[in-house]
C-alpha cells in the first residue's frame, strides 16, 4: 500500500521544495529576536551541518532548539516506556507474522529480505510488517550513508549541542504520537505494504535519489518525487495536519523565545507548508543565504 511506503519515507527522510534553501528566518509581528526553522534529512550525519549556510550562526543566536519531538527525553525513557514502545513494534500474541501471507508471498518476501538484509521472513517472525519495513529502510540507508551507523543525525545533534551550550530543548509533538502515525494501520495493511515494497524493489533507488538531491540541495527534484508518490489523503494525514498543529505552537512560542525549529524538510513546502502558514500568520519568513 503506497500510503505506508510514503509514511516510512517521510518519517525517515522528509522532503524539500524550492527555493534551494534549508534554513529560514522567522521575524516580524513585533517580535524582538528572530527565530529560525531548519529542514533536515533525518538520516544525514551531523557533519552536513557545515554545508547549511548560516546554520551555526543561527544556532548561537537562539535560546531554544525545538525538534519534532524531544530526543533528549527519549534517551531518558524508563524501562516501562521502552517496553511499551517495543511492544508496539512486535506482533500481538494472538497472531503470527507468517499467517498474514500465502505461500507465494512468503517466497517473494524470503527472496527480497535475503537480498536486502540477509535473512528470510521467518527470522522476523516476532516483528510487525511495519517494523520489517523500517528495518529494511534503515539497512538501505546505512548502505547509502555508511556514516549514519557511527554518527549522530542532524536532528539529535542540534538538540544535544543545545544542551551542552546551556540552551533549552523541546518537541512539537511526542515520540508516542509519531509511533502512532507509523503503526496506526492494521496488520493486513502493513502486510500489503511490505509486499508492495518487495514487488517494486525500488526503495534503494528512491532513497539514493532523495539523498543525492538533499546533499546537492536540489529541492525541486525532491519535491517532485514525493508529489508523484503521495495522494491528497496521505499529504493531509502525514504533513498538512501536523503542520497546522506546529504552526499554532510556533506562533505562541516565537514572541516569547528565540528558537530554532528543526523538522523534516517535507514540512516546509507547498500551500500548506510551514513557510506558507507562517507567512499567512503575519511573519516574515526568509531563506538564509549567507
Domain range summary for the chain, segments of one domain joined by +: 2-287
Distance CA 276, CA 17 (A): 12
The pLDDT tens digits of the residues spanning 63-98 come to 999 999 999 887 777 788 788 888 999 999 999 999
Distance CA 279, CA 135 (A): 38
Whole-structure pTM over 0.85, yes or no?
A: no
> How would you classify residue 264: left for phi > 0, otherwise alpha for psi between -120 and 50, otherwise beta?
beta
Its sign, for the CA torsion 269, 272, 273, 279, is positive
Q: What average pLDDT does the segment 170-188 reach?
A: 90
For the chain, counts of helices (H) and of strands (E): 14, 6
b/e per residue 165-198 (b: at least 16 CB within 10 A): eebebbbbbebeeebebbbebebeebbbbbbebb
Three-class SS state of 261:
strand
Distance CA 140, CA 48 (A): 19
Q: What average pLDDT does the segment 257-286 reach?
A: 91
The pLDDT tens digits of the residues spanning 86-136 come to 899 999 999 999 999 999 999 999 999 999 999 999 999 999 999 999 899
Whole-Å CA distances, 39 to 7, 13, 145, 151, 217: 17, 10, 18, 19, 11
Nearest to 211 by CA among 290, 268, 147: 147
Distance CA 183, CA 202 (A): 22
Amino acid at each position: 500500500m503506497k500510503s505506508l511506503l510514503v509514511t516510512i519515507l517521510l518519517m525517515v527522510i522528509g522532503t524539500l521544495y524550492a527555493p534551494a534553501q534549508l534554513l529560514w528566518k522567522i521575524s516580524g509581528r513585533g517580535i524582538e529576536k528572530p527565530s529560525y526553522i531548519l529542514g533536515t534529512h533525518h538520516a544525514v550525519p551531523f557533519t552536513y551541518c557545515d554545508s547549511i549556510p548560516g546554520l551555526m550562526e543561527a544556532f548561537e543566536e537562539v535560546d531554544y532548539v525545538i525538534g519534532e519531538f524531544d530526543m533528549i527525553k527519549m534517551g531518558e525513557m524508563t524501562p516501562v516506556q521502552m517496553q511499551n514502545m517495543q511492544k508496539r513494534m512486535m506482533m500481538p500474541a494472538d497472531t503470527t507474522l507468517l499467517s498474514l501471507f500465502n505461500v507465494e508471498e512468503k517466497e517473494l518476501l524470503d527472496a527480497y529480505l535475503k537480498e536486502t538484509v540477509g535473512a528470510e521472513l521467518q527470522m522476523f517472525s516476532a516483528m510487525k510488517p511495519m517494523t520489517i519495513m523500517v528495518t529494511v529502510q534503515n539497512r538501505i540507508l546505512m548502505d547509502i550513508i555508511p556514516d549514519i551507523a557511527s554518527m549522530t543525525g542532524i536532528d539529535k545533534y542540534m538538540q544535544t549541542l543545545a544542551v551542552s551550550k546551556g540552551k533549552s530543548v523541546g518537541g512539537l509533538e511526542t515520540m508516542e504520537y509519531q509511533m502512532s502515525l507509523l503503526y496506526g494501520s492494521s496488520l493486513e495493511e502493513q502486510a500489503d505494504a511490505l509486499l508492495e515494497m518487495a514487488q517494486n524493489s525500488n526503495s534503494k533507488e528512491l532513497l539514493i535519489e532523495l539523498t543525492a538531491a538533499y546533499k546537492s540541495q536540489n529541492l525541486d527534484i525532491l519535491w517532485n518525487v514525493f508529489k508523484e508518490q503521495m495522494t491528497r489523503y496521505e499529504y493531509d494525514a502525514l504533513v498538512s495536519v501536523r503542520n497546522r498543529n506546529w504552526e499554532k505552537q510556533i506562533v505562541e512560542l516565537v514572541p516569547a523565545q528565540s528558537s530554532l525549529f528543526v523538522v523534516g524538510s517535507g514540512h516546509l513546502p507547498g500551500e500548506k507548508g510551514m513557510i506558507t502558514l507562517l507567512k499567512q500568520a503575519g511573519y516574515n519568513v526568509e531563506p538564509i543565504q549567507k
